[in-house]
């Protein structure tokens, strides 16, 4: 459902306010997406109702058997924390229309049916307990509500459906204390933000939650872009967050081990978003009972080992590594102010070389302990010596050097051989 978003023209106060609201988020870099709903019981993707054209009355029966194990949001939050994630976004209502909270607008919800529990409240409590910022995903599209489809062609239905949407969003924004992110999705079937009345609704959201951060999927750009299943940096100055599945589906789907992203790939995604000053929202699709698939648990534990040692490179205010080459043989760069981080993907042994450096190097340190390493620079080539023979990182085999330059770093690696001589 990705919608292209153009940067808004905003007043300087609006820009300053946005920077203030976004500070924790741009520092956080890494969050957990949780897709959990009735569809989780079928294990055939969260769009199963639509893809298999399951009639509403038949699909609704899934509400009776929906029975998450007590405390499952705590399990998600504990795992997120362990992996080094700083926030967690739950699907409060996906396109299927089932609300995970006690809505006064519909009894198609987890308190009136199924588990008779407010899963949204449990999610909020779990976030607070584990020190995570708390986000609500909300699908504007609704396959269950009678007006969810006909609103596109019937003005009275559109009126009712917009009011329904506003009422649900108002509940989410007022029942649970401070909420940090509103992650809208799927602005369908209405074709414009005007017909959705998004600007007005989002103004209400901001009145209720002055610090909230809003995604770009209500048809207006709001605070951040949401590239989906690819990591593509937005123009400098625009915040963005890549959302990625773990195994090709957002909702739970049992898949062969080969479909699951290896921990090393997740860390590489962290490098990619960091190099573009973006965030990574990595999804887990809990199983029918709300527990996390063991494949995700295992991989996130390894990611957590890595982030706990090398997190300095990713968290906080980062810069784009302008002036440095994207690929230098055994590794690649990210940057944070004067500190340049060289992520070593193929550990070369005791000596490491980086070519094409036109600027003078001040110091080279081995992460994570920061031990100073000997180096020399000759013919634009940096040679670092005295490295351990094997990569110091055992979790995902991605090691790191922290390199400081005298002045602005410049690296040029042409295809030719002229600058070798």
Q: How far is the CB of 59 from ligand GLC (least distance, A)?
A: 15
Q: Does 8 bind ligand GLC (CB under 6 A)?
A: no
CA distance 188 to 141: 5
Q: How far is the CB of 396 from ligand GLC (least distance, A)?
A: 25
CA distance 274 to 240: 11
- Closest CB to ligand GLC among residues 200, 230: 230
- Closest CB to ligand GLC among residues 188, 410: 188
- Closest CB to ligand GLC among residues 21, 35: 35
Q: How far is the CB of 258 from ligand GLC (least distance, A)?
A: 22
- Closest CB to ligand GLC among residues 242, 340: 242
Q: How far is the CB of 228 from ligand GLC (least distance, A)?
A: 5
CA distance 284 to 272: 20
Q: Does 228 bind ligand GLC (CB under 6 A)?
A: yes
In this chain, which of 101, 250, 260, 375 binds ligand GLC, going by CB under 6 A?
250
Count of residues near ligand GLC by CB under 6 A: 8
Q: How far is the CB of 23 from ligand GLC (least distance, A)?
A: 24
- Closest CB to ligand GLC among residues 110, 324: 110
Q: How far is the CB of 67 from ligand GLC (least distance, A)?
A: 22
In this chain, which of 77, 120, 132, 243 binds ligand GLC, going by CB under 6 A?
243
Q: Exposed, middle or buried, 311 (CB in 10 Å: 0-12/13-18/19+)?
A: middle
Q: Rg of the Cα trace of the chain?
A: 24
CA distance 234 to 222: 14
The number of residues in the chain equals: 421
Q: How far is the CB of 39 from ligand GLC (least distance, A)?
A: 9
- Closest CB to ligand GLC among residues 186, 410: 186
Site string for ligand GLC, 110-139 (x = CB under 6 A): ------------------------------
3-class DSSP assignment, residue 236: coil
CA distance 340 to 321: 8
Neighbours of 57 (CB within 10 A): 7
CA distance 243 to 273: 11
- Closest CB to ligand GLC among residues 187, 193: 187
Q: Does 1 bind ligand GLC (CB under 6 A)?
A: yes
State both tokens at 33. 């997406």
Q: How far is the CB of 336 from ligand GLC (least distance, A)?
A: 28
DSSP string across 146-168: THHHHTTT-HHHHHHHHHHHHHH
- Closest CB to ligand GLC among residues 121, 186: 186
Question: Between residue 14 and residue 43, which ones bind ligand GLC under the rule CB under 6 A?
Answer: none
The answer to whether the CB of 412 falls within 8 A of the CB of 356 is: yes
Q: How far is the CB of 337 from ligand GLC (least distance, A)?
A: 32
Strands 381-385 and 352-354: antiparallel
Q: How far is the CB of 227 from ligand GLC (least distance, A)?
A: 10
C-alpha 397, offset from chain centre: 23
Question: Between residue 292 and residue 311, which ones bind ligand GLC under the rule CB under 6 A?
Answer: none
CA distance 170 to 195: 18
- Closest CB to ligand GLC among residues 159, 230: 230
In this chain, which of 46, 96, 171, 180 binds ligand GLC, going by CB under 6 A?
46
Question: Between residue 337 and residue 366, which ones bind ligand GLC under the rule CB under 6 A?
Answer: none
Query: Which of 130, 122, 15 lies closest to 68, judged by CA?
Result: 122
The dihedrals phi and psi of 319, each to the nearest 5 degrees, come to -120, 160
- Closest CB to ligand GLC among residues 228, 339: 228
Element (H, E) at 280: strand 279-284
- Closest CB to ligand GLC among residues 131, 248: 248
3-class DSSP assignment, residue 419: helix
Residue 188: how many CA atoms within 13 Å on its side-chain side? Answer: 11
Q: Applying CB under 6 A, which residues contact ligand GLC?
A: 1, 46-47, 185-186, 228, 243, 250
């Amino acid at each position: 459902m990705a919608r292209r978003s153009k940067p808004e023209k905003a007043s300087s106060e609006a820009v300053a306010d946005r920077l203030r609201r976004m500070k924790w988020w741009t520092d956080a870099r890494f969050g957990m997406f949780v897709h959990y709903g009735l569809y989780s019981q079928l294990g055939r993707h969260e769009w199963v109702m639509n893809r298999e054209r399951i009639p509403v009355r038949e699909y609704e029966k899934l509400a009776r058997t929906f029975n998450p194990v007590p405390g499952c949001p705590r399990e998600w939050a504990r795992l997120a924390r362990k992996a080094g994630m700083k926030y967690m976004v739950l699907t409060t209502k996906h396109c299927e229309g089932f609300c995970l909270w006690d809505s006064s607008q519909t009894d198609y919800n987890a308190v009136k049916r199924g588990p008779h529990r407010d899963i949204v409240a449990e999610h909020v409590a779990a976030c607070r307990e584990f020190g995570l910022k708390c986000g609500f995903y909300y699908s504007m599209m609704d396959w269950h509500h009678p007006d969810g489809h006909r609103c596109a062609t019937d003005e009275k239905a559109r009126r009712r459906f917009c009011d329904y949407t506003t009422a649900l969003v108002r509940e989410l924004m007022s029942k649970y204390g401070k909420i940090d992110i509103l992650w809208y999705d799927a602005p369908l079937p209405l074709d414009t933000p005007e017909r959705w009345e998004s600007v007005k609704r989002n103004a209400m959201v901001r009145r209720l939650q002055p610090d909230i951060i809003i995604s770009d999927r209500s048809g207006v750009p709001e605070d951040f872009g949401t590239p989906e299943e690819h990591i593509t940096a937005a123009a400098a100055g625009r915040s963005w967050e890549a959302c990625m599945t773990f195994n090709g589906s957002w909702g739970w789907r049992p898949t062969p081990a080969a479909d699951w992203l290896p921990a090393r790939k997740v860390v590489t995604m962290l490098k990619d978003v960091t190099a573009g000053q973006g965030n990574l929202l990595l999804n887990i699709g809990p199983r029918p009972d709300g527990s996390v698939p063991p494949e995700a648990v295992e991989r996130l534990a390894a990611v957590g080992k890595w982030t706990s040692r090398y997190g300095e490179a990713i968290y906080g205010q980062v810069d784009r590594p302008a002036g440095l080459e994207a690929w230098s043989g055994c590794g690649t760069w990210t940057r944070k102010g004067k500190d340049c981080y060289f992520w070593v993907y193929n550990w070369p042994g005791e000596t490491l070389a980086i070519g094409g450096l036109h600027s003078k190097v001040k110091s080279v340190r081995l992460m994570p302990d920061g031990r100073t390493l000997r180096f020399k620079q000759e013919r634009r080539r940096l040679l670092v010596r005295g490295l351990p023979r094997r990569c110091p990182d055992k979790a995902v085999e991605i090691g790191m050097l922290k390199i400081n330059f005298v002045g602005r770093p410049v690296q040029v690696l042409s295809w030719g051989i002229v600058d070798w001589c």
